[in-house]
Amino acid sequence: MHKDLYNAALDQRKTEYQKFGNKVDYLQQQNCLPEFKKCFPEYKELGSHALQATLKRVDFAYQRFFKGLGKYPRFKSIRHYSGWTYPCGSGWSIETNSENGYLTVSHLGRIQIRGKARTWGKPTTCTIVYRNGYWYASITVQCNPIRSTGTGAIGIDLGCKEAITLSTGEKINKPEFLKTGQRQVKAASKSLRRKRSPNGNKRVKASRRWKKERAKVSKLQRKVARQREDWLHKTTSKIVSGNSLIAGEQLNVKGMTASSKKGKRKKQKAGLNRSILEVGFDIMGGLLTYKAAEAGGFYLESPTRVLKPTQRCAKCWQLTPKTLKDRVHICSNPNCQHSEDRDVNAAQVNIIWARGQELTSIDAESPSSTACGSMRQLGARKRQKPRPCV
Ligand SMILES: [Zn+2]
């Protein structure tokens, strides 16, 4: 029913504009809802807020389209409809103390829930999600997440050979399962290509084997995605648990993945780009930011273009040009000649830069704050705002 409402709202916007040149906005559609429910009384049971949330989805799709972020909204089949939302407390209820419990959705029944939330709070919204053939319930709670942290300060450098290098010299390798998973996905996709795929123009239907193989490919892809997410969460949590000041570098992921099409050292860059996407570096900054904020610490990103951490010397701050092939930093400054592993050096440059930022912020606030004090205060101030956690 939510899907039909979505399509109806989309159809209204489309035909009103095409035939009469009227632009229908969200409020107009919301005001139509009571009339709509008179014609289709079965919709009354779904709850007006949930229906409004579905109309908002249509509006959201249009907003994305107008901003140039997405394609023109399409009509959805039930197979591709992603679910619905309860934007307030009505229509659902939850019985739990953060560990296991029951979720009751009106007209659907009481469902057992399993697992544990790290911090629990007041439940606010519930979204039923249908993805990859499975149904999920996503519940947001209003809470104040608190995380413990150490007093250390650490710099990190992301690379293609070792996934993460810390300024202490420790290296975290790219997890093995990514390689295995990719190999499996590749093999399954090859097998999929050999089966009869659907072709609408030639009126060819997909074969049963093709459908089966496609399900296998998406299952494998899902598994790798989940493993990667798990690994990222564990790794970032570990970094935050020991350090309250973390320094990384700004990644221009969009630019980096695009740059592999031309230019010097194309292949190496493509390798780095692939590993950025493979390991999920693009979301790592976000994870570190919120985890550090929860812990009352701070995560800073150095401006890579200006600072050039890979080329700068951590001892004398002099630049030494390098290619991706040079694995060891040997300072070109004759008075320094500092030699260090390339990635460790970059991580050290990052943390030195972050400490410099911290010192300037202390000067601005008060001379009495301690080494990590000002950053901690900033982090704490950030934390005070209750943040919904999913
Ligand atoms: Zn040097």
Q: Residue 227 contacts by C-beta under 8 Å, 6 or more apart in sequence?
A: 175, 177, 178, 181
For residue 363, the model assigns a pLDDT of 57
pLDDT at 132: 77
Render pLDDT for 4-42 as a digit per residue (tens, 0 to 9): 999 999 999 999 999 998 899 999 999 999 999 999 999
Q: What is residue 177's predicted lDDT score, i.e. its pLDDT?
A: 86
Is residue 238 within 8 Å of 232, Cβ to Cβ?
no
SS (H, E, C) the chain: CHHHHHHHHHHHHHHHHHHHCCCCCHHHHHHHHHHHHHHCHHHHHHCHHHHHHHHHHHHHHHHHHHCCCCCCCCCCCHHHCCEEEECCCCCEEEECCCEEEEEEECCCEEEEEEEECCCCCEEEEEEEEEECCEEEEEEEEEECCCCCCCCEEEEEEECCCCCEEECCCCEECCCHHHHHHHHHHHHHHHHHHCCCCCECCCCECCCHHHHHHHHHHHHHHHHHHHHHHHHHHHHHHHHHHHEEEEEEECCCHHHHHHHHHCCCCHHHHHHHHHHHHHHCHHHHHHHHHHHHHHCCCEEEEECHHHHCCCCECCCCCCECCCCCCCCEEECCCCCCCCEEEHHHHHHHHHHHHHHHHHHHHHHHHCCCCCCCHHHHHHHHHHHHCCEEEC
pLDDT category at 274 given cuts 50, 70, 90 is low
Q: Pairing between strand 109-116 and 122-131? A: unpaired
Distance, CA 356 to ligand 1 centroid (Å)? 18
Per-residue pLDDT at 142: 92
| CA 279 – CA 232 distance, rounded (Å) | 8
Tens digits of per-residue pLDDT, 105-159? 988 899 999 888 888 889 999 999 998 788 999 999 998 888 888 888 899 888 7
pLDDT top residue among 320 and 220: 220
Query: For 285-295, how does the pLDDT look when each residue is reduced to its tens digit (9 = 90+)?
Result: 889 998 998 88
- The whole-number pLDDT of residue 314 equals 85
**355-384: per-residue pLDDT in tens?**
888 777 655 544 433 444 444 444 444 444
| 327 Cα–ligand 1 center, Å | 16
Instruction: Compute the distance from residue 319 Cα to the ligand 1 centre, in Å.
Output: 8
Mean pLDDT, residues 152-181: 85
Measure 320 CA to ligand 1 centroid, in angstroms: 8
d(CA 15, CA 367): 65
Q: How far is the CA of 155 from the centre of ligand 1 (A)?
A: 18
How far, in Å, is the centroid of ligand 1 from the Cα of 336?
Answer: 5
In this prediction, residues 250-270 reach a mean pLDDT of: 61
Over the range 160-174, which residues count as b (16 or more CB within 10 Å of their CB) and which as e? bebbbbbbeeebeeb
What percentage of the chain carries pLDDT values higher than 90?
36
Cα 250 to averaged position of ligand 1 atoms, centre (Å): 23
* Identity at 11, one-letter amino acid code: D
Could you tell me which of 140, 132, 125 has the C-alpha nearest to residue 53? 125
Distance CA 91, CA 84 (A): 12
The sheet with strand 83-86 has its strands ordered as 83-86, 122-131, 134-143, 387-389
Judge whether residue 235 has pLDDT over 50. Answer: yes
* Cα 344 to ligand 1 centre (Å): 14
Ligand 1 midpoint to CA 312 (Å): 8
Tell whether the model's pLDDT for residue 259 goes beyond 60. no
How far is ligand 1, taken at its centre, from the CA of residue 361, in Å? 27
CA of 165 to the centre of ligand 1 (A): 20
Closest CA to 382 of 301, 265, 268, 299: 299
Residues with CB under 5 A from ligand 1 (ion): 313, 315-316, 331, 333, 336, 338
Average pLDDT over residues 254-282: 62
Q: How far is the CA of 333 from the centre of ligand 1 (A)?
A: 6
Q: What is the pTM of this model?
A: 0.74
What confidence score (pLDDT) does residue 321 get?
A: 83
Structure-token match 């989805």, residue found: 57
**Single-letter amino acid code for the residue at 357:** Q
Tell me the pLDDT tens digit for each residue of 89-110.
888 999 988 889 999 998 889 9
pLDDT band at 316 (very low <50, low <70, confident <90, very high): confident
Under a CB-based contact definition with an 8 Å cutoff, are residues 309 and 350 in contact? yes
